[in-house]
Amino acid sequence: MNNFRYLELETWLREGITNGRWKSGARLPSIRQLCEDHKVSKATVQHALHRLEAQRLVIAKPKSGYFIPHERAVKVSSKAQVTNAPTLITVSDVLIDVMSKNAAFDLMPSFVDGEKPSSIVALNRSLTRALRRQKGHLHQYYDVPAGDIHLRKQLAEMMHRRDCAAQPEELCITNGCQHALFLALMATCQAGDVVAVESPGFYGALQLLEQLQLKVIEIPASYTTGIDIAALESNLNVWPIKAIIVTPNFSTPTGSLMPNDNRIKLLALAEKFDIAVIEDDIYGEMGFHSATQPLAALDEHSRVISCSSFSKSLSRDLRVGWIKGARWHEKIIKLKLITQLASSSSTQQGLCDYIADGSYHLYLRRQKQTLLQQRDQLLTYLCQNWSFADYTVPEGGISLWVTLPEHCDTMQLYSQLSRSGITIIPGPIFSISNQFKSNLRLSFNHQWTEERIKALNVLKKYIA
């Protein structure tokens, strides 16, 4: 129980801040005082304060204590509900450049640091064992199109634990989440159809829409609400929208966790207007403080296609994802068969063992702690050094969304910095309408090192 004392204190402090017990600019009680008043250890107080600092509810001033920051609302990108006509799009070359540099979640992509983590050693051991166990002439057979049934059982169980009643037979193994999104769009849309997306939203989805010649409607989305339900409804009333792509759990770039009532409203709209809902759930297992439900858990009408993979949570080298295709399941399996026949059996079996023996869950628990710590390190850095910026404080995932002063042009910064070997992810690649020019996405996916701090300092110099 002792573990949760810091949470109680954090809650008490947060309520005080919200209630106005301490005004903006005021100093909080000292650490010693808080220890005495609440009968907790110094470490507990520091932990609570650190968390509040990370959420920018308090500011640490060296040798002076903790203060309530001056009024500064979290500026969330929000757009008038103007309904633009759906358009065919062209994805920017910068995005292709970022992706070919392998830099989407990094600042210095050439820097591969440290020892191989023990979790990956264990995963590789499982993969190796699966190769060794491979029998007879199995190499002469393709796997079944839907993928290894044992792995699908493990995945169904993982979804069950998140309150989503999926059967193994309802799942199809893919070559990653992007491949799953691709299959979902191929199954639900035809060239020329209109698809709604979050704005800002995942660039990978925008690329797919371009390639499949689908028309795009951008719906404003914010860190606090997820996709704007009212804006979605007004667009549904006007345009023949066929499908919508959303990331309810820790959407990239903002890290937003869509509130439950908005999820329910979204599904009601989907039913009313008969559209497919394509859920990108790649960060769904990566909530720091509590488990999240997939949107598919609330799906009563078999119209949520849920896509995910192990690329963000475990390894980008595995190339294993999955899709719960709802009413489009059979069509999706056929599409997978046609576009690439099958997945690697031995990889699937190795991964399956790694999950079945508990290694994956153990790893995930630790990994979420690591990510939370790295997030807090990044937030503390930003809080202390980037007073000119606003940023979101995601409760999961691997990145946050920074709003720079309006004069900043992150596309320009991208070119300038790439000469120094630093790659930033500029805001405009998360939209098709040249928005978010003074935004950027920062990742906390990597170890917090001197090199990263230096890179952020260089970035600051260019901004200031």
Which residues form the interface with its own copies (CB under 8 A)? 96, 99-100, 102, 104-106, 109, 112-117, 120, 124, 127-128, 131-132, 134-145, 175-176, 178-179, 182, 186, 190-191, 204, 207-208, 210-211, 213, 311, 314-319, 334-335, 337-347, 445-447
Nearer to its own copies, 97 or 271 (CB): 97
**Is 350 in contact with 151 (CB distance < 8 Å)?**
no
CA dist 248 and 207 (Å) reads 20
Nearer to its own copies, 33 or 339 (CB): 339
Neighbouring C-beta atoms of residue 462, cutoff 10 Å = 14
Of the candidates 294, 277, 282, 335, the one whose C-alpha atom is nearest the C-alpha of residue 176 is 282
Q: How far is the CB of 316 from its own copies (least distance, A)?
A: 5
CA dist 292 and 188 (Å) reads 26
What is the Cα Rg of the chain in Å? 23
**Amino acid (one-letter) located at 246:** V
Q: Which two tokens stand for residue 232?
A: 């979605």
Q: Which two tokens stand for residue 421?
A: 């070997």
Q: How far is the CB of 63 from its own copies (least distance, A)?
A: 36
Nearer to its own copies, 110 or 387 (CB): 110
Nearer to its own copies, 28 or 335 (CB): 335
Q: How far is the CB of 121 from its own copies (least distance, A)?
A: 9
Give the pairing of strands 399-403 and 390-391. antiparallel
CA dist 400 and 422 (Å) reads 18
CA dist 313 and 363 (Å) reads 9
Q: How far is the CB of 452 from its own copies (least distance, A)?
A: 13
Nearer to its own copies, 220 or 253 (CB): 253
Residue corresponding to tokens 């009680």:
29
Nearer to its own copies, 193 or 376 (CB): 193
Residue corresponding to tokens 């060239």:
191
Q: How far is the CB of 454 from its own copies (least distance, A)?
A: 18
Q: How far is the CB of 17 from its own copies (least distance, A)?
A: 36
DSSP 87: B
DSSP 252: T
Nearer to its own copies, 28 or 333 (CB): 333
